[in-house]
Structure 1
Amino acid sequence: MAEKRDYYEVLGLGKDASSDDIKKSYRKLARQYHPDVNKAADAEAKFKEVKEAYDVLSDDQKRATYDRYGHVDPNQGFGGGAGGADFGGFGDIFDMFFGGGGGRRDPNAPQRGNDLQYTMTIEFKEAVFGKETEITIPRTETCDTCHGSGAKPGTKPETCSVCHGAGQQEVVQNTPFGRIVNRRPCSNCGGSGRVIKDKCTSCGGAGKVKKQRKLSVRIPAGVDDGAQIRLSGEGEAGARGGAPGDLYIVIRVKPHSFFDREGDDIYCEVPLTFAQAALGDEVEIPTLTEKVKLKIPAGTQTGTYFRLKGKGVPRLRGYGQGDQHVKVTVVTPTNLSDEQKDLLRQLSGSMGTPSTSGSAQEEHHESIFERMKKAFRGE
């Protein structure tokens, strides 16, 4: 019979290995040599060896005894050779790898409620300045009649007689590889560990009911399209005393007819006549809050930008406001009188430039004027 290897050597560790080191090594090697994964001829034997080493070194008392006496246990101990290792624990191993963490989930433990999402569409200026509003959301709440127990008032859920409150049933199978323990949700209680004989008439035993709930919401000034507002505890009700989920409000902002937004800055387009651009002028500009005067220098070219400092959007996280950027566009005159046309021809001739016209450009300029009129009206 081959001499049994040192347990630390089996796990590839030194004697100063911590409990976490032992657990990590075991998980890695058990996965590597598990017979369902590794089809090598010696995989089963190595798996048993790894598990035996882990069973000893993961137990503080057994580890201390092993460190002192080695494989010779004065109490006719724990090792038992490779044949003494319980190859059954498949269920425990799978629990460890795939969500169990080495333990069983308590079916009666508090469970947090689900989060909810609500999409709110607001006007451009409501996003800029903020608002208080009220919304109605459908959500699941704890039943007021049974207070979440699901049982008729005066009664209470009983512990499942099949799984005894564990919420799981174990099925043991003996295979050529050893004993396999399979766990599955209890067929009698559905995995809850409890049985309700007299169900609440309001919720039908669910412990929760659907309701339409009105909530007051504050939209902060400066919020932008796509932003989320979290209302803590306003989601679905939890189960078995668990905390409720949260409500996430997703903001959608309608576009404005005159203003465009980029971050905390506002952009707009303002029309100028040829004379204003050539000779200079002072024009009135609509902003988000008021009308201001903007000085146009002589010789301003179409497409030039001017900045109105502090006339943008309030900064959501910080102090102050963004800026407003004004793009000026020189408008081609339309519906000229014969006299005006002659004067323009004379000007064009003196400047050595040909006269031009374009209906598409005229339509664009008309739309600029219309948008600017709406902005002045506060629309």
Structure 2
Amino acid sequence: MRDYYEVLGVQRGCDDAALKAAFRKLAMEHHPDRNGGCEDATGRFKEINEAYSILSDAQKRAAYDRFGHAGVNGGGGGGGPQGFGDVHDIFNEVFGEAFGEMFGGGRKGRSNGPARGADLRYDLEITLEQAYAGAEVELKVPSSITCEPCNGSGAKPGTNPTTCGTCGGAGRVRATQGFFAIERACPRCGGAGKLVLDPCQACHGAGQVRKERVLSVRIPAGVDDGARIRLAGEGDAGQRGGPRGDLYIFLSVKPHELFERDGLDLLCTVPVPMTTAALGGQIEAPCLMGGENCDGQCKLPVDVPEGVQTGKTIRLKGRGMPSLRNRQRGDLVVELYVETPTHLSARQKELLRELADLCGDKQHPKSANFIGKAKRFWEEVTGV
């Protein structure tokens, strides 16, 4: 009779974790189902199980360490009840946590009670104004609800579902294949544990009906594109009186014709007349209305400095999007675009020509600097 430690390939004094790991590896390698029922593999498999059944028991292991095979009540008798133990129990212990119900370890906590309803998704597009100030919107959500006539049982009013005779009401059946016990949902009742013999006419035995529900949803101020709102208990109804699932609302913000969003900041491009850009002055920029910082205005004055150029940005503090997490607000960033006048009259053209004759390099410093660089470039290329 081989030494049990030698059978499992472990050292004397190894801990339980090392013992279990060695057994798991060898048992999977020599299992008869994986070796076509080979007699050698079957014998080796029984030997491995016998060794583990002794060494995994603290008292038996202590007796074996002291007296050898004689100390474990004739454990060398070829796999009797005391030497080999119950193979199925051993597999439950070692493989249950890794493979769940395949080896019977998944039965704990499993219930054939009321099942929770499915979660639902609803895609909702909102405007930037709604995202800025918040909004109350109504949604029409098609979902499953509990059938009222049968109260979700699926049985005709006045009758009750009967216990499934195949699974005895457990909802699951078990089959043994070699050393393995496989558990699955009962094929007759589908895991419900009960059968509806006289179905409800309203739901045809399903216990649920489809109906469009109207929900009022509050959109918080400051939400961004891609935000998600969870409404607990507003999904599909559960089966057999189980709890409802949840409703998840995925938000998308419709592009705005004036504003672009950058985090909490709002970006807006505002045209500036050429004369205002040259002389300085004041223009008006649009502003989103709503919230405590808006003052009821949908436009804000913007001071334009003298000689401003296209691309200049002016930041208006606290006029951007509100934050979802605190009282902070972003800014409104106004980008100025200097606009050249069109459709000029003869007099207007005459005045512009006179202005062009009077303006020199000081009035057009960027143009003068560019012309100087261009001349040097042409001289280097042409050598003239």
Match of 1:303 in 2: 311
| Residue number among 100, 112, 115 corresponding to 2:116 in the alignment | 112
Match of 1:158 in 2: 162
Which moves more between the two structures, 160-169 or 23-32?
A: 23-32
1:246 equivalent in alignment to 2:218: no
Q: Which has the larger radius of gyration?
A: 2
| Residue number among 344, 357, 364 corresponding to 1:349 in the alignment | 357
SS in 2 for 1:339: helix
In structure 2, the gaps of 5 or more residues are 290-296, 365-384
1:231 equivalent in alignment to 2:244: no
The correspondence of residues 195-344 of structure 1 with structure 2, limited to 5 A, is 195-289=195-289, 290=297, 291-344=299-352
Relative distance call for 1:111 and 1:23 in structure 2 (3 A) is: farther
Amino acid at match of 2:330: G
Relative distance call for 1:179 and 1:300 in structure 2 (3 A) is: closer
Relative distance call for 1:38 and 1:130 in structure 2 (3 A) is: farther
> Shift in Å at residue 140 of structure 1?
1.3
Contact 1:11 1:53 in 2 (8 A): no
The correspondence of residues 73-92 of structure 1 with structure 2, limited to 5 A, is 76=73, 81-82=78-79, 84=84
SS in 2 for 1:139: strand
Contact 1:153 1:200 in 2 (8 A): yes
Relative distance call for 1:315 and 1:187 in structure 2 (3 A) is: closer
Relative distance call for 1:26 and 1:132 in structure 2 (3 A) is: farther
Alpha-carbon distance between aligned partners in 1 of 2:235 and 2:11, rounded to the nearest angstrom = 48
With normalisation by structure 2, the TM-score equals 0.75
Q: CA RMSD in A?
A: 3.6
Relative distance call for 1:322 and 1:120 in structure 2 (3 A) is: same
Contact 2:5 2:11 in 1 (8 A): no
Amino acid at match of 2:105: G
Which moves more between the two structures, 73-82 or 150-159?
A: 73-82
Contact 1:89 1:181 in 2 (8 A): no
Identity rate, percent: 47
> Shift in Å at residue 97 of structure 1?
4.5
Alpha-carbon distance between aligned partners in 2 of 1:238 and 1:200, rounded to the nearest angstrom = 17
Which moves more between the two structures, 69-78 or 26-35?
A: 69-78
> Shift in Å at residue 112 of structure 1?
2.1
- How many residue pairs match? The answer is 343
Which moves more between the two structures, 237-246 or 334-343?
A: 237-246
Alpha-carbon distance between aligned partners in 2 of 1:79 and 1:143, rounded to the nearest angstrom = 64
Match of 1:365 in 2: none
SS in 2 for 1:343: helix
Which moves more between the two structures, 71-80 or 159-168?
A: 71-80
Match of 2:381 in 1: none
In structure 1, the gaps of 5 or more residues are 356-379
Match of 1:369 in 2: none
| Residue number among 40, 61, 68 corresponding to 1:67 in the alignment | 61
Contact 2:9 2:22 in 1 (8 A): no
Match of 1:360 in 2: none
> Shift in Å at residue 98 of structure 1?
4.2
Contact 2:176 2:182 in 1 (8 A): yes
